[in-house]
């Protein structure tokens, strides 16, 4: 209740306050009080909505994170979870979500919250080289398959979040348009592959791996968990078919392959590169990749999404890739995506492919 300690005297030296003005003042104060109370209730309502999200993320992270054994979960829960119904603001929620990823050391995982990506390890010092940035700003990279010169082909494989059969088939059709049987060598350009789904690359290029077994998923100590393989157009994970394409051409077992890498080759792009590690007659040219080689498991929590690093990838010989994929021949500059004849990495690859 709002009130006054004593009545206003007509003999007071203060200006006379009319009854209507006093009522207005009381109404204004009451409105302010109700507004503040409503705001506090809204914030407390946010706490009731956001607190369970933190709890769910902690449960999923503890169960599925490849880094789970490194984390003091009791201490983390004490730091992250609110006590005594303390109000949790959106800013608090974001900060504590980042703490969870930081405690795990997970720089690949993220929580997608109301259109916002919350993650740990945003490197503000990382600068994309101008030639790569220019290519990205020119528009969404697309698959490009061309003959560089007689006997030598080129195919660019950008990242895509699409994992439907149609997308996978389009990459397969582009590859086979090069007539593999007539080629001596091929350049696979992963420089603009920033990640996405692994399905298109593994199924669409299935004839090029030279082996059914192409990779494994692995845990933190490097122990293989699940085999990744290709067979007659199908990409299989742990023996289960993920996607299948209709092969439009036969493998060329004598084919030499040059893989081009860049600083922004990331995630599924890096995994595709790893799938060619251990293949004979294969070389990697360019620069070390972005370093997101963990396998992510994805979960829907309410209307939000959680991605957690749940494993690593190994090549067909069992070597684990905990971070970057390194090139055999390092070339930093010289990218020219509009004129491949002027691209130093493409030309270096072409020179190697021609060597006997």
310 occurs within a structural domain: no
Final residue in a domain of this structure, among 118, 138, 165: 118
Give the pLDDT score at 89: 85
How many Å apart are CA 189 and CA 146, to the nearest integer? 12
* HSE (side-chain half, CA atoms, 13 Å) at 154: 21
Distances (CA, A) of 227 to 50, 144, 212, 216, 245: 38, 30, 10, 4, 19
Residue 330 and residue 197 share a domain: yes
Give the pLDDT score at 115: 86
State CA 72 to chain mean position distance.
26
Give the pLDDT score at 6: 33
Residue (of 290, 242, 237) closest to 129 by Cα position: 290
Distances (CA, A) of 99 to 59, 66, 90, 198: 15, 17, 14, 29
Query: At a CB cut-off of 8 Å and minimum separation 6, what does 258 contact?
Result: 185, 186, 187, 188, 282, 283, 284, 285, 349, 350, 352, 353
Residue 167 and residue 52 share a domain: no
Residue 340 and residue 230 share a domain: yes
The whole-model pTM stands at: 0.81
pLDDT of the chain along its 356 residues, tens only? 333 333 333 333 333 333 334 344 444 444 444 334 333 333 433 444 688 889 999 999 999 999 999 999 999 999 998 776 565 788 999 999 999 999 999 999 999 998 899 989 766 567 899 999 999 999 899 999 999 999 999 999 999 989 899 999 999 999 999 999 999 999 999 999 999 999 999 999 999 999 999 999 998 888 888 999 999 999 999 999 999 999 999 999 999 999 999 999 999 999 999 999 999 999 999 999 999 999 999 999 989 999 999 999 999 999 999 989 999 999 999 999 999 999 999 999 999 999 98
How many Å apart are CA 164 and CA 169, to the nearest integer? 9
How many Å apart are CA 333 and CA 344, to the nearest integer? 8
Residue 151 and residue 189 share a domain: yes
CATH at residue 275: 3.90.226.10
Instruction: Look at the block and give the residue holding tokens 């309502």.
Output: 45
**Orientation of helix 90-104 relative to helix 19-64, angle to 10°:** 20
Residue (of 104, 140, 132, 141) closest to 120 by Cα position: 104
Give the pLDDT score at 45: 38
Q: Which domain holds residue 279?
A: 130-289+324-354
Residue 191 and residue 93 share a domain: no
301 occurs within a structural domain: no
The tokens of 277 are what? Answer: 């590690």
Residue 350 and residue 208 share a domain: yes
133-136: long-range contacts, CB 8 A cutoff, minimum separation 24: 135/192, 135/335, 135/337, 136/192, 136/264
Structurally, the chain folds into a number of domains equal to 2
How many Å apart are CA 134 and CA 291, to the nearest integer? 22
């Amino acid at each position: 209740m709002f009130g006054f300690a004593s009545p206003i005297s007509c003999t007071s030296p203060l200006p006379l306050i009319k009854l209507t003005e006093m009522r207005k003042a009381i109404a204004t104060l009451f409105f302010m009080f109700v507004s503040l109370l409503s705001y506090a209730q809204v914030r407390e309502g946010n706490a009731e909505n956001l607190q369970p999200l933190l709890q769910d993320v902690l449960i999923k992270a503890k169960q599925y994170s490849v880094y789970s054994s490194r984390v003091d979960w009791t201490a983390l829960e004490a730091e992250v979870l609110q006590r005594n119904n303390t109000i949790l603001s959106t800013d608090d929620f974001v900060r504590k979500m980042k703490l969870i990823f930081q405690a795990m050391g997970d720089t690949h995982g993220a929580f997608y919250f109301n259109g916002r990506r919350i993650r740990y390890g945003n490197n503000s010092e990382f600068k994309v080289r101008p030639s790569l940035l220019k290519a990205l700003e020119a528009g969404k990279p697309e698959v490009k398959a061309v003959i560089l010169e007689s006997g030598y082909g080129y195919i660019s494989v950008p990242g895509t979040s699409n994992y439907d059969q149609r997308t996978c088939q389009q990459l397969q059709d582009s590859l086979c348009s090069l007539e593999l049987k007539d080629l001596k060598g091929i350049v696979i350009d992963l420089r603009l592959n920033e990640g996405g789904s692994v399905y298109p690359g593994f199924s669409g290029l299935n004839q090029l791996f030279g082996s059914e077994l192409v990779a494994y998923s692995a845990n933190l100590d490097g122990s293989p968990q699940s085999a990744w393989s290709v067979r007659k157009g199908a990409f299989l994970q742990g023996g289960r078919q993920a996607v299948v394409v209709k092969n439009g051409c036969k493998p060329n077992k004598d084919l030499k392959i040059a893989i081009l890498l860049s600083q922004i080759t990331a995630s599924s792009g890096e995994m595709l590169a790893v799938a060619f590690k251990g293949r004979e007659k294969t070389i990697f040219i360019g620069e070390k990749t972005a370093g997101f080689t963990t396998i992510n498991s994805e979960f829907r929590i309410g209307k939000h999404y959680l991605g957690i690093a749940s494993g690593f990838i190994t090549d067909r010989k069992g070597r684990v890739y905990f971070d970057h994929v390194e090139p055999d021949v390092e070339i930093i500059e010289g990218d020219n995506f509009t004129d491949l004849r002027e691209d130093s990495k493409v030309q270096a690859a072409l020179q190697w492919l021609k060597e006997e």
